[in-house]
Structure 1
Amino acid sequence: MIDELDAKILNILQKNARIPNAEIARQVALAPSAVLERIRKLDERGVIAGYEVRLDAAALGFGLTAFIFVKTEESLGGSTTTRQIAKLAEVQEIHNVAGEDCYLLKVRVQDTRHLMEFMREKLGRIKSVRSTRTTIVLETVKECRTLPLPETNG
């Protein structure tokens, strides 16, 4: 799927997507044009899904993270329910899960009052939602979106 040089480039980009191309080229000992071409090919193949800014949720007033297990009337992956949940701005992640629940949601809100409002006024108004179980995060020890690509010697 990817070779060692691609893995090196991707590891660098995962740490800092704004790093100048010339610096990536220096770190992987390639010409800048060769690095650009590799990144372009990784983009085209869908290996690089996008570039985004990581925001500090707490600094922006979103001090509460919760995980919500959702049971629905629809079968697993019911597209109507999935679309409705995906429209909710507070929902950061939606996972179809195995077991007695249908979905696992990761939600960020300001505080418990806003969580209650979200549960009642938004999630609770989706007709197919039968029940929910909520776990509130007390402390996030590790949160990252980087993938564990093979370690490289460089």
Structure 2
Amino acid sequence: MTELDEKDRLLLAALHKDSRQSLVALARHAGLSRSATQERLRRLETRGAIAAYTIRLGAEQKAPMVRALVAVAFHPGKNCDHVVPHLSGMPHVVSCWSLAGATDLMLLVECDSNDDLDMIRRRIAIIPGVATVQTHVTLRTHFDRRG
């Protein structure tokens, strides 16, 4: 990905603060025209600087019943380029982190049941390049500073 310029960084900061801002508000914040802002956002999406527009459900909304951390190790010679594209198409895989050490990726998986988790885990295990999958089901959240 090419380097972000100051206007790109302004747009990303504004979206990070409030992703529901209108295109006009974003343009005003970055000092750009509406069409220039729209083109920059499209380019940022294409380059992967903007991965998704999402919401975080409030406490009143139904949370997933099952949450697990899934540790993935690759076969020798395989890397994130081989595996992550498969994972990004799985909506229950809500986060994916590269790690140093014996585990190559750590995934946060959220679903409605243990049966769903088992199905997702099996789908991950058959991705070309995946050597091992270890699943750690969470029991309780003591605190969560995200969002």
State the alpha-carbon separation in 2 of the partners of residues 84 and 12 from structure 1: 30
- Provide the residue aligned with 1:143 in structure 2: 146
Residues 8 and 78 of structure 1, relative CA distance in 2, 3 Å threshold: closer
State TM-score, norm by structure 1: 0.58
Secondary structure of 1:105 counterpart: strand
Task: State whether residues 85 and 123 of structure 1, in contact with CA within 8 Å, keep that contact through their aligned partners in structure 2.
Answer: yes
Alpha-carbon separation, structure 2, partners of 1:78 and 1:43: 24
Question: Secondary structure of 2:140's partner?
Answer: coil
Partners of 1:81 and 1:43 lie apart in 2 by 25
Give the unaligned 5+ runs of structure 1: 145-154
Instruction: State the 1:70 CA deviation.
Output: 1.9
Among candidates 46, 67, 70, match of residue 69 of structure 2: 67
Higher RCO structure (Cα 8 Å, ≥6 apart): 1
CA contact 1:70–1:129 (8 Å) conserved in 2: yes
Deviation of the 1:76 alpha carbon = 4.0
Q: Distance in 2 between matches of 1:82 and 1:6?
A: 25
- Distance in 1 between the 2:10 and 2:100 partners? 35
Alignment length, in residue pairs? Answer: 139
Does the 8 Å contact 2:27/2:37 carry over to 1? no
What residue is the counterpart of 1:93 in the other structure?
A: 95
Structure with greater Cα Rg: 1
Distance in 2 of aligned mates of 1:137 and 1:52? 28
SS in 2 for 1:94: strand
Q: Could you tell me which runs of 5 or more consecutive residues in structure 2 were left unpaired when the two chains were aligned.
A: none
Instruction: Give me the TM-score of the superposition, normalised by structure 2.
Output: 0.60
The root-mean-square deviation of aligned C-alpha atoms, in Å, is 3.9
Distance of aligned partners of 1:71 and 1:60 in 2 relative to their CA distance in 1, 3 Å threshold: same
SS at match of 1:92: strand
Three-state SS of the structure 2 residue aligned to 1:41 is: helix
How far the C-alpha of 1:131 sits from its partner, in A, is 4.5
Residue 94 of structure 1: CA displacement? 3.3
Alignment CA distance shift 1:111-1:22 (3 Å):
same
Secondary structure of the 1:115 match is helix
Q: 2:22 matched to which residue of 1?
A: 20
Aligned mates of 1:122, 1:29 — CA distance in 2: 42
- Which one of 102, 105, 116 corresponds to residue 103 of structure 1? 105
Task: From the superposition, tell whether residues 134 and 19 of structure 1 become closer, same or farther in structure 2 (CA, over 3 Å).
Answer: same
What is the CA distance between 1:136 and its match in structure 2?
1.8
